[in-house]
Amino acid sequence: MDVSYKEIFNDDECLIRKEDLSGNKYFYEGTKGNEYCVRRKLSDCEKQFYEGTRGNEHHVRTESYDDNKHFFEGTKGNEHLVRKELSNGNKLYYKGTKGNEHLVRKEFSNGNKLYYKGTKDNEYLVRYELPKDNEYLVRKEDLSGNKYFYEGTKGNEYCVRLESPNGNKYFYKGTKGTEYCVRIEFPNSNKQFYKGTRGNEYLVRIELPNGVKEFYEGTKGNEHLVRLELPNGDKRFYEGIKGNEHLVKVTIYWNNGNKKYIGEVINNNIYHGEGTLYWENDKDKIRYKGKWKNGEAQEYDYDVFLKELEEEENKKKEKKKEKKKKAREKQKAKKVIIQIKSILLDNKINFNKLIIMTEKDLEYISISKGPRVKIIKTIKDFNKEINEDENLCIICLDNKKTHACIPCGHVCLCEDCSKKINIKKDKCIMCREKIHSINKIFL
């Protein structure tokens, strides 16, 4: 229960302070009925200051126990951080809506200023401002639009990055005058890595966005491809001078369903490695399992791969075809029923009556032979589906009902689902009666 303190003015009471059970204190100003919160002191000694009329008080400042201050702007519920004043004299400035405030500037007590760009938590430094005696170069732009970024003390600034107008970014290492390129990043996310002293940098690796890595050897201008690594672990090895590289060896890792192999492949033939492979011919499928060395199988065995697997696959395909065929037939039957809709309406025959009618009944209401046959077939298929659904397990709706709940006697479970029932806790799904046991029923 809150405890409120009130001050009396001209026989009117106005709220000046309120304390809640958590130890938080709220301070108010204003006439009776128009009191507005001006300060909030939390139990952890943090102070929050507010401005605005009653019901529209918005947060403007927070003072923490360590003398740090946070300043906010915006209407109630939309207050966003604009400045932090730290106890050491440093100041941080922010921009952005509530929850998306990003750092734009730092001002240090020694006069240094740092400027930032980027979204929240991804801010990056773009400019320094230092007192005149400590100024040093941090960025330079030429007439072509190139931007050079530097680090280091005054007089010893060295280039660390170059951004060209086409979006390419060049990264450097080394002291002033000896900077050498170590990486290039392109707008399409390709990355190239280099080694070597300034002016003699040679390509050693390319990383592509799809995860492929290319490795090179050779002096500047003569780099030739020696290896290619794929995301799945495969490796391809090359020989030859630049522009004439040819594949000499492949180290692969297959793991695709029933096909597994780790090792080398030369001229599309197994060379070194081990695993389980399959070959197909017109009659059967042969499975080889073992190790290979210098192109010859070692410690291998084989067997005729189960033809049943292929036959099972063919059965599944036939079932799909049959299902599509039935669906087409049902659609045709529906069209027929739509065509005779007016006759059914004239004779006041609804769907429930239609599914129990015979061919003679349809002939009696003047439906011609063609549509009669299709309607009767549709009725038979419908009744068949209903009967099939009634015989399915009420839980999985896939397997036939084979087990009954005792003592109520409802046959509603298949064998698999009957094993999942907890007799001590669960009840019959049909009648909610307590289950003493579950028995298999032989029909």
66-91 pLDDT per residue, tens:
789 999 999 999 999 999 999 888 99
Give the count of beta carbons closer than 10 Å to the beta carbon of residue 349: 16
Report pLDDT digits (tens) over 359-396.
777 777 777 777 777 777 766 766 665 555 567 787 77
What's the pLDDT at 166?
Answer: 93
pLDDT of res. 50 = 94
- CB-based contact 416:396 (threshold 8 Å): yes
The partner residues of 9 in beta bridges, in order of sequence, read: 12
- Inform me whether the pLDDT recorded for 48 exceeds 80: yes
φ, ψ dihedrals at 330, nearest 5°: -65, -40
pLDDT at 136: 76
Which pTM value belongs to this model? Answer: 0.37
Confidence of residue 344 (pLDDT cuts 50, 70, 90): low
According to the per-residue pLDDT averaged within each range, which of 251-255, 329-333, 361-365, 434-438 is highest? 434-438
pLDDT at 303 over 70: no
pLDDT attached to residue 262:
56
What would the pLDDT profile of 323-336 be if each residue is shown by its tens digit? Answer: 877 777 667 666 65
* Confidence band for 59, pLDDT divided at 50, 70 and 90: very high
d(CA 41, CA 20): 11
Provide CB contacts within 8 A for 242, sequence distance 6+: 218, 222, 223, 224
Sorting pLDDT into bands at 50, 70 and 90, what band is 253? low
Check residue 1 and give its pLDDT.
Answer: 39
The pLDDT value given to residue 95? 95
Helix (H) or strand (E) holding 369: helix 369-390
**Structural domains of the chain, with CATH:** 257-305 (no CATH), 318-390 (1.10.150.50), 393-443 (3.30.40.10)
In this model, does residue 192 exceed pLDDT 90? yes
pLDDT per position as a tens digit, 136-162? 778 888 888 899 999 888 888 899 999
Mean pLDDT within 41-63: 89
- Rg over alpha carbons for the chain, rounded to the nearest Å, is 41
> Is 303 or 170 the better-scoring residue by pLDDT?
170
Mean pLDDT of 229-241: 82
- Looking at residue 237, its pLDDT comes to 83
Cα separation, 148 vs 169, in Å, equals 10
DSSP 8-class letter at 382:
H
Residue 301 is predicted with a pLDDT of: 52
9 in Cβ contact with 18 (< 8 Å)? no
pLDDT of residue 23: 78
Whether pLDDT at 247 is above 50: yes
Give, to the nearest 10 degrees, the angle between helix 307-339 and helix 369-390. Answer: 130
